[in-house]
Amino acid sequence: MPAAARADDLAENLKLVYQNHVLGVRHPIHYGNQQFDSDGHPVNAGAAQEWEVYGGILIDKVLLKNDQLHFQGTRVAPGDRVENGKPVAIFLGKKVNFDIHLAHPLVSMDEAQKILGSVFYLDERDAEHRKPELRRTRDSTQNQKVYDSVNISGVPPRPVYMPEPEFSEPARKAKFQGVVVLTVVIDTRGEVSNMKIDRGLGLGLDEKAFDGLKKWRFTPATQNGEPVNTRTRIEIDFHLY
């Protein structure tokens, strides 16, 4: 088979497998173009922010060239609406581009997936990595034990400062309301170190929930009299009164 025909077949297979599918991203997500080398490692990622964005991208464009593999998509959150037996994606923000620079033209699907596996979570069992997530860059809970707040034998975390998140203008204009459900990690200082959306709303309310939770403070949970990191479920109720 001629090389051009093989390349066309590979490009079509990549579209068939990944286009219109949600992939979790292994690296912090930045708007605009994100560049990766031929091994799938970030290139010129820039300075780390106080909070880094992770989560899933709904891929709407797959383009294969001799020297580049291009994926484009939009961050999405899981919602509670279902159409035709499938959950309806909630879109967050603008489109994001992923450009993987190739050392040589790809010759097989296995080779493509090996590179893509360094940029994205490709396994369907990695569904947790497709949820929108904010991680504090200097995460004090990293590589430390995190208890589920409902299972600890000591005292669970208690909020002591919880300013009400702002309503987004698009949601206000649409008179749209509801509840954003998140899983949050609270460190031994009583600060939020990580938050992930389990059920979103859209219209900017998910981002407002993130912004609000950054400011919340807690009395940390204790186990055997010592403060511990805990994971807990929080619901942010957005209602117009």
**What percent of the chain has a predicted confidence (pLDDT) above 70?**
96
The three-class DSSP label of residue 162 is coil
Q: Same domain for 125 and 8?
A: yes
Which domain covers residue 215, as residue numbers? 137-238
pLDDT of residue 4: 53
Crossing angle for the helix pair 109-119 and 3-18, nearest 10 degrees?
40
Assess whether 109 and 202 both reside in one domain: no
pLDDT tens track for 158-210: 999 999 999 999 999 999 999 999 999 999 999 999 999 999 999 999 999 99
In a shared domain, residues 33 and 123: yes
The predicted structure's pLDDT at residue 48: 73
Q: Clarify whether residues 38 and 127 are in a common domain.
A: yes
Phi/psi class of residue 207: alpha, beta or left (left: φ > 0; alpha: ψ in -120 to 50)? alpha
Residues 86 and 121 in one domain: yes
21-42 per-position pLDDT tens digit: 999 999 999 887 899 999 999 9
User: Average model confidence (pLDDT) for the chain?
Assistant: 91
Choose the final residue of a domain: 114, 131, 148.
131
Q: So what's the pLDDT on residue 152?
A: 86
Q: What is the DSSP letter of 168?
A: P
Q: What is the mean pLDDT of residues 7-13?
A: 90
pLDDT (0 to 100) of residue 1: 47
Checking if the pLDDT of 81 tops 80, the result is no
Q: Report the predicted TM-score, pTM, of the whole model to 2 decimal places.
A: 0.90
pLDDT band at 6 (very low <50, low <70, confident <90, very high): low
Name, in order, each residue with C-beta under 8 angstroms of 23's C-beta and a sequence gap of 6 or more: 56, 57, 59, 71, 73, 120, 121, 122, 130
Tell me: do 167 and 233 sit in the same domain: yes
CA distances from 112 to 109, 190, 211 (A): 5, 43, 37
Following DSSP, what letter does each residue of 25-49 receive, concatenated?
Answer: ESS---SEEEEE-TTS-EES--SPP
Say whether both 116 and 211 belong to one domain: no
CB atoms inside a 10 Å sphere around CB 224: 8
Q: Which one of 104, 131, 158 terminates a domain?
A: 131
Same domain (yes/no): 190, 96? no
Could you tell me the pLDDT band of residue 93, with boundaries at 50, 70 and 90?
Answer: confident
Question: Residue 2 pLDDT > 60, yes or no?
Answer: no
CATH number at residue 147: 3.30.2420.10
* Res 192: pLDDT: 96
Q: Are residues 121 and 159 in the same domain?
A: no
* Distance between CA atoms of residues 110 and 114, nearest Å: 6
Q: What is the DSSP letter of 49?
A: P
Check whether residue 154 and residue 198 sit in a common domain. Answer: yes
pLDDT at 14: 97
Q: Which of 98, 131, 164 is the last residue of a domain?
A: 131
pLDDT band at 89 (very low <50, low <70, confident <90, very high): confident
Query: Into how many domains does the chain fold?
Result: 2
One domain for residues 19 and 125: yes
Is residue 79 within 8 A of residue 90, CB to CB? The reply is yes
Q: Which residue has the higher pLDDT, 48 or 61?
A: 61
Statement to judge: residues 77 and 94 lie in one domain: yes
User: What is the separation of C-alpha 71 from the centre of its chain, rounded to a whole number of angstroms?
Assistant: 16
Tens digit of each residue's pLDDT (9 = 90 or more) over 124-148: 888 999 999 999 998 878 888 999 9
